Structure 1
Amino acid sequence: MLTPHVSFLAENHLPSQRLVDYLEERAKGGVGLITVEASSVHPSNVPYEGVLFAFDPKSVDGYSRIVEAVTAHGARCVLELSHKGAAAKSGILSGRPLLGPSGIPEASSLEVPRAMSLQDIADVRAGFALAAKHAVMAGFDGVEVHSTHGYLPQQFLSPVFNRRTDQYGGSLVNRMRFLTEVLDAVRSELGSEKALGVRLAGHELTPGGLETQDFAEIAVRLVDAGLVDYISVTASTHFSYNKIIPTVHAPAGTFVAYAHAIRSAIQERVPVIVAGKITTLAEAEAVISSGKADLVGMTRANIADPHLVRKTLSGEVDDVRPCVGANICISHSVDRRPLSCGHNPTVSRERESKKREGDIRVALDKTAVTPRIGVIGGGISGLKAAETAARMGAQVTLFERERELGGALRYITVGSVERAPLLGIAQWLADRVTKLGVTLRLGESAPGGQSAEFDAWIVATGSTADRTGFSALMPDEPVLPGIDGKIVVFPDEVLRSGYERDSQITPLSLSDGRSREVLVIDDDSGWIGYSVASYFAEGRHPTTLVTAQPKFGHRILGTQEVPDLHEQLRRRGVKIVSHHLVGRIDDLEATAIDLDNGEAVSLGEFGVVCVSRSRKAHVPTENRDVLDDPRTLIIGDAAAPRGIFEAVNEGYWSTLGLLETVLDIRPDSSSREANLVGQA
């Protein structure tokens, strides 16, 4: 099933056609139950611009289109109703103070809410009922009340946030009162023919918060009272926000034990749903067959490949595009961007993708000549371009100067075996281009003078470390003083050394009996500095990581894995120094500016200083004729150094655009506008 997840595809707080298309594609692919994202039940709850307004009668039409599209493929459809309470931000969206059971701020906003009056409680309860009425009018098969992740009903349940002394606070029965009244109100609108579920935490993972035995008791009381038809189990509050969506570092089936405890406590009287890093049907079947849950949510897996179920059941398991846990979907959600995926560039753009691919195939059927596409670079951007062009029907040759495919992504596990699943992107694409018949010229650079042999070229040669040490925080210093010193190295050679299991970099850099201590300058503040620091620390070198950013991992905060990275660095003994800008590297010493007070400080003596400040596009000059060819497209890091999403996204959409140019197809204006939206 598809559990509720924010898409940022709403238009004026109403369901858009893009949201309909996105959900319909998952229903087509075999998902049996789709729960539409958390929808607001009351005007006091406007946590972000893209939230759906279930309390607005105008929402019924859009919800109806979702139901019609999803159920046409045999799936069932449920609407999740929500109120974030103190976990939102008032800002300018609602123009109202936040509401909460007590005047206790929640960790995500730190904003003190207004303790709800009895009238506030009655109004919000009525909002849940009104939203349920709209769900019935739209034809949903049921409604789910969101009572986890630190949302308002959970705030009432939790003694951390509920300090009331009236009938809604104190004992467990009193703290449950808000939720039970909401469920009663919703049931009054649903009747007995529609399903009513509740999404509960299995543990708050919050100091002083509710634990598994507490939620088991809550579940038993709800089932005893006949209030719910099913329970969906997850975990956490916004205090432990990074635990809500398990990262690449979390174990498979992260929340299964919680679901099992609740299912056992209620004696299997209503179905229990569990989600959280269950990525294959084999894993889902193991959970169900072991009796730990009745249904399994596989949301990110179905974002990555909407046809996961269909492919698996038809024996095409190897063709399933795997969710690798990169959490780019979550990162873009944090940034309030439309739902997306680092592995599947068609997410939220399903209609445009089908239209443009269809037009290309029609044009290819009409032409007698198959387009010949040359791709230079076998990283994930070049692989995605080759896979796309070959799948469309082009004849593709890929040149890669290394003896293997994958580009820089191959190095992502250096010093961090925990991040190995991310290699799945490159591995899947490499397998696909082989199956599609792409000619692979490994160990070869594209020779000069071959421009005319292809109808178009795609250059995806990646990026390299910027060896000037330039920092935007020191714009008057184009070159970092000391960057050419004998103790300075760069991440490219360090990561290659680690990948090839070649320890040469260490003794070369630590000759002459100098200090074994290593300094990693990580102003890039992504995964590269982390991998380099881990690599040296695992080699038993005392390692310090210094960043000018306010916090290490600043650029990848949205993936929710930074707390895991911090913990792993601490476990390996790496010292982290934040908000310090290195201004000079001497023969043995590095000097930094403390950006909190402007003072210069010595970071100590080091035998190796690895500088990871920024990267620059790498476009090989030996292919001058290709680069000068107007039919050449430069994509990914070769265009401008960025990340996984941009590399794969451009590998797909830019290749479609190139084929349209070669075949003289003119995309309509809506496609061009959507393309701009997708790349924003």
Structure 2
Amino acid sequence: MADPLLQPYRLKNLTLKNRIFSTSHEPAYSEAGRPGLRYQLYHEEKAKGGAAMTMIGGSSVVAKDSPQAFGNLYVHDDAIVGDFKALAKRVHAYDCAVMCQITHLGRRTSWHREHWLPIISASHEREPAHRGFPKTMEDFDIARTVKAYGAAARRCRDGDLDGVEIEAYGHLFDSFLSPRTNSREDNYGGSLENRMRFGMEVLAEMRRQTDPDFIIGVRMAVDEAVEDGFGFDEGVEIAKRLHKAGLVDFLNVIVGTIDTDESLSHIIPLMGTPAGPNFAKVKAARKLLPGLPIFHAARVNDLATARHWVNDDAVDMIGMTRAHMADPHIVAKMMRGQEERIRPCVGAGYCIDRIYQGGEALCLHNPATGREETMPHVIAPSTGPKKKIVIVGAGPAGLEAARVSALRGHRVAVFEATDRVGGQVALAAKVARRKELIGITDWLYAEAQLAGAIFRFNTYAEAADIEAEQPDIVIVATGGTPNTAPFKDGSDLAISTWDVLSGQVALSDDIILYDDEAGHEALSTAEFLAGKGIKFELITPERLIGAEVGGLNYPAYYKALYATGAKLTINQRMTRIAKEGNQLVATLFNPYDKSTSERRAQQIIAVHGNLPADAVYFDLKERSLNRGEIDIDAFIDGRPQNLKTNANGTFQLFRIGDAVSARNIHAAIYDGLRLCQVF
């Protein structure tokens, strides 16, 4: 039986070679609002990997009073046409279509950027996420914006793109459609016909400024799934009217709203949620919209789920967007019969949270994504001499070093002190909702083994054991150990999250969880405690809980915290722990009013990062050619490491990941890739 995912699909005048595409999103790789080389290479890689279509420019802005929110492309300037042409040429070379999403952000942005113009919307309703108060659009605002949409579509056509889609959920276009954001009393408010008027004018202008064959679609909710928004019946009716008017060529279906972090977490579901959660509603909409091509994407991160959507006639095209960030070669591997070798998207949400925290989207465990100019997705064999490489530690850093080194053709031996791979990832995956994280190290281990790396478990490697291997290169990837000693006194009385998640300590029902890191470690431990019904107080010196946890991730944590009735305390730094009888007494200091207070509990869990487990590294340092030094410029540029500062050394020595300093999974894997891809 032919694979439904590999069947071509005819969309108007465009033949898509299979049913898999990457939906519009903004990785924030733009340069001054334009898609430069980094942006182009990112999309070209998905075309190389076999996708039928890649959609670029999530929320590309059509007007100057729609300032960037996260690196959006500017389609309000003719200067972008040349960049589009360059990108389209790259993508089309692999028989891959490319479209751009255009929009006016409306109230979903901030007025205090770029030109400092008022944000605008159908009405005055404020969006909770961006907090600005929009100007209610006047007649001249409407006329100007309608023309801006049309001009933006024309620029996309002139840039050799195959089509465009309008983002119509949470932005200006749908602010007119939804009764929750449209309280107008003129011809653009009230009845459904009036609420659709702006959208009809926009689409008609886009068609007027392009041509009849140019593909125009809308990505919109068929059900806002909120009490004061439009429901499924009205959402389908809106789509019917747009289709009947001949204004749209496809509908990219969304369910829900995006005006709060909590609601956005349902539009972009993370780990611990069902695959393809909107299947029933999207399929029902499709049945009611005959003849209108239906696209969809929401937590379709594996081929089995994608295949089910297409085979069961729920969609015409299925989006695998985050999955393509994890592995842009999904289709190519499927066609080679290598589905098991696809790097899995684990739904961590790091890609999206990074946009708001670090300014660019990055995959948690594929550091080549977004770095295509310097980092390879496909590791090429080395043309130089084959080397013996010994790696100590089988966490994410060591596993990536083993995978890449073995693929380069070197002889690789990995020493691991425990009986399994994973390191800290294996501990993080102990939290039920986050168990998919183990897919990161499972994939790295399988790929490293397939490439020929040899693993030696239950082996606590010391310097003599490593030197006995007669290595050319030694990579210390031993990770770190919990630092539970940030206090003036009593640090030995605290336990670590490792103790808790590994089950090494029996837990009481009287716990303080002290978070002096502000990341996932404390909150995932809190979720673990909540899952066991344990009540606790979470204390942090930060001004908010989980300051380093992104907006997509924190809703799940907060739900767990509230479900168990945890007490949340901010602005309190723990300075001492003392033992009184069978209780522990924590001294807290408030840096704002300089007051001190005490808390009592049976157990105190302290989170203060990790200290490098670096003993074997320092044992080897003076025996190595480079004394463990990394040429930082070569490391950054992706050039070989040639430092030789010890004439008596016999091997190169490096350490990576948390064995250097406490960071995260992405940093650890990136260390392994950029160090070893030049050996």
Separation (CA, whole Å) in 2 of partners of 1:211 and 1:395? 60
Report how far residue 407 of structure 1 moved: 0.4
Please point out which of 203, 212, 223 is paired with 1:192: 212
Distance 1:286 1:539, change over 3 A: closer
Counterpart Cα distance in 2 of 1:293 and 1:480: 61
Q: Is the 8 A contact 1:202 1:255 kept in 2?
A: no
Cα distance 1:598–1:246, how it changes in 2: closer, same or farther (>3 A)? farther
Name the structure 2 match of 1:443.
458
1:384 and 1:652 in contact (8 A); partners too: yes
Question: So what's the TM-score if we normalise by structure 2?
Answer: 0.87
In the TM superposition, what is the alpha-carbon distance from 1:436 to its structure 2 partner? 1.1
In 1: Cα distance, 2:513 partner to 2:222 partner = 40
| 2:444 is the alignment partner of 1:429 | yes
| 2:331 equivalent to 1:339 | no
Following superposition, the deviation at residue 79 of structure 1 comes to 1.6
What is the CA distance between 1:284 and its match in structure 2?
A: 1.0
Separation in structure 2 between the aligned mates of residue 434 and residue 66 of structure 1, nearest angstrom: 37
- The residue that corresponds to 1:324 in the other structure is 346
The alignment-based identity, stated in percent, is 29
Structure 2 partner of 1:315: 337
1:422-501 aligned at under 5 Å gives the runs 422-449=437-464, 450-451=466-467, 453-468=470-485, 470=486, 479-485=487-493, 488-497=494-503
- Equivalent position SS for 1:555: coil
* Change beyond 3 A, Cα 1:99–1:460: same
* Aligned ranges 1:230-249 → 2 under 5 Å: 230-234=250-254, 235-239=256-260, 240-249=263-272
- The 5 Å alignment of 1:388-403 reads 388-403=404-419
Query: Aligned match of 1:583 in 575, 578, 595?
Result: 575
Aligned to 1:672: none
Show the counterpart of 1:372: 388
2:608 to 592, 605, 613: 613
State the distance in 1 between where 2:375 and 2:542 align.
38
**Distance in 2 between residues matched to 1:464 and 1:207, nearest whole Å:** 48
* CA contact 1:544–1:574 (8 Å) conserved in 2: yes
Write the letter of the residue equivalent to 1:564: A
Corresponding position of 2:642:
none
* Counterparts of 2:294 and 2:102, CA distance in 1: 18
Residues 336 and 115 (structure 1), Cα distance of their counterparts in 2 relative to 1, 3 Å cut: farther
Q: Give the whole-Å Cα distance in 2 for the aligned partners of 1:48 and 1:456.
A: 45
For residue 309 of structure 1, give the secondary structure of its aligned residue in structure 2: helix
1:156 aligns with 2:176: yes
Mapping for residues 59-70 of structure 1, pairs under 5 Å: 59-70=80-91
Maintained 8 Å contact 1:246/1:277: yes
Answer yes or no: is 1:208 the counterpart of 2:228: yes
CA distance in 1 between partners of 2:470 and 2:442 (Å): 29
- Which moves more between the two structures, 530-539 or 95-104? 530-539
Alignment-mate amino acid for residue 609 of structure 1? I
| Paired residues of 2:617 and 2:655 also in contact (CA < 8 A) | no
1:255 to 278, 290, 296: 278
Q: For the residues of structure 1 that align with 2:452 and 2:397, how far apart are their CA atoms?
A: 18
Work out the CA distance in 1 between the residues paired with 2:563 and 2:134. Answer: 38
CA 1:154–1:600 in structure 2 vs 1: closer, same or farther (change >3 Å)? farther
Code of the aligned partner of 2:505: I
> Matches of 1:262 and 1:596 in 2, distance apart?
55
Q: Which residue of 2 aligns with 1:109?
A: 130
Question: CA 1:567–1:190 in 2, change beyond 3 Å: closer, same or farther?
Answer: same
Equivalent-residue separation in structure 1 for 2:128 and 2:622 (angstroms): 51
**Corresponding residue for residue 666 of structure 1:** none
Q: 1:276 and 2:298 equivalent?
A: yes
- Aligned-pair CA distance for 1:591: 3.7
Partner of 1:551: 544
Change (3 A) 1:464 1:177: same
Pair 1:96–1:385, CA change in 2 (3 A): same
Choose which of 78, 90, 96 in structure 1 pairs with 2:117: 96
Letter of the aligned partner of 2:173 in structure 1?
P
Deviation at 1:446, TM superposition (A): 2.5
> What CA deviation, in whole Å up to 9, does each residue of 1:407-428 have, x standing for no partner?
01101133x2111111100000
- Residues 356 and 656 in structure 1, CA contact (< 8 A), matched pair in contact too: no
In the alignment, is the contact (CA less than 8 A) between 1:13 and 1:49 conserved in 2? no
Is the Cα–Cα contact under 8 Å of residues 370 and 393 in structure 1 kept in the other structure?
yes
The equivalent residue for 1:527 is 520
Counterpart pick for 2:320 among 275, 279, 298: 298
The within-5 A match list for 1:39-50 is 39-48=60-69, 50=71
Are 2:427 and 2:498, in contact at CA under 8 Å, matched by a contact in 1? Answer: no
Q: Following TM superposition, by how much is the alpha carbon of 1:62 offset from its aligned partner in structure 2, in angstroms? A: 0.7
Count of matched residue pairs: 623
Q: 1:357 to 1:423 in 2, by over 3 A?
A: closer
Does structure 2 conserve the Cα–Cα contact (< 8 Å) formed by 1:373 and 1:455? yes
Q: For the residues of structure 2 that align with 1:285 and 1:433, how far apart are their CA atoms?
A: 28
Question: Within 1, Cα distance between the matches of 2:617 and 2:653?
Answer: 15
Gaps of 5+ in 1: 471-478, 498-503, 511-515, 660-680
Corresponding letter in the other structure for 1:590: A
Instruction: Name 2:4's counterpart in structure 1.
Output: none
CA distance in 1, matches of 2:540, 2:240: 49
The 3-state SS of whatever aligns with 2:50 is coil
Structure number with the higher helix fraction is 1
Letter in 1 for 2:102: L
Distance 2:282 2:217 in 1: 14
Q: 1:230 offset after TM fit, Å?
A: 0.6
- Report if aligned partners of 1:461, 1:637 keep a CA contact under 8 Å in 2: yes
Q: Quote the offset at 1:384 in angstroms.
A: 0.6
C-alpha separation between the residues in 1 aligned to 2:227 and 2:148? Answer: 31
1:164 partner amino acid:
R
1:637-676 correspondence to structure 2 within 5 Å: 637-657=658-678, 659=679
Q: Which residue of 1 aligns with 2:649?
A: none
d(CA) in 2 for partners of 1:134 and 1:538?
52
CA positional deviation for 1:593: 3.9
Deviations, residues 320-352 of structure 1 (Å, cap 9, x unaligned): 011111111112111353332112111122232
1:542 pairs with 2:535: yes
- The separation in 2 between residues aligned to 1:199 and 1:336, in whole angstroms, is 27
Q: Given residue 570 of structure 1, which amino acid in structure 2 is its aligned partner?
A: Y
Contact 1:86 1:99 in 2 (8 A): yes
Q: Could you tell me which residue of structure 2 aligns to residue 351 of structure 1? A: 373
| Greater alpha carbon shift after TM alignment, 201-210 vs 591-600 | 591-600
Q: After TM superposition, give the deviation of residue 562 of structure 1 in Å.
A: 1.0
| Deviations, residues 562-596 of structure 1 (Å, cap 9, x unaligned) | 11112123334433333333333332233434567
Greater mean deviation of Cα atoms: 186-195 or 564-573: 564-573
Distance 1:564 1:412 in 2: 15
Task: Quote the offset at 1:517 in angstroms.
Answer: 1.0
**Residues in 2 aligned to 1:22 and 1:612: alpha-carbon distance in whole angstroms:** 37
Secondary structure, in 3 states, of the residue corresponding to 2:296?
A: strand
- SS in structure 2 of the partner of residue 96 of structure 1: coil
Match of 2:161 in 1: 140
User: TM-score, normalised on structure 1?
Assistant: 0.87
Give distance in 1, aligned partners of 2:45 and 2:276. Answer: 25
Q: Deviations over 1:435-487 (max 9, x none)?
A: 1111111111223134481111111111111131x2xxxxxxxx3433233xx
Q: In 1, distance between residues paired with 2:445 and 2:213?
A: 49
CA 1:484–1:348 in 2, change beyond 3 Å: closer, same or farther?
Answer: closer
Deviations 1:300-333 (A, max 9, x none): 1111111101111221011101111111111211
Shift of 1:247: 1.1
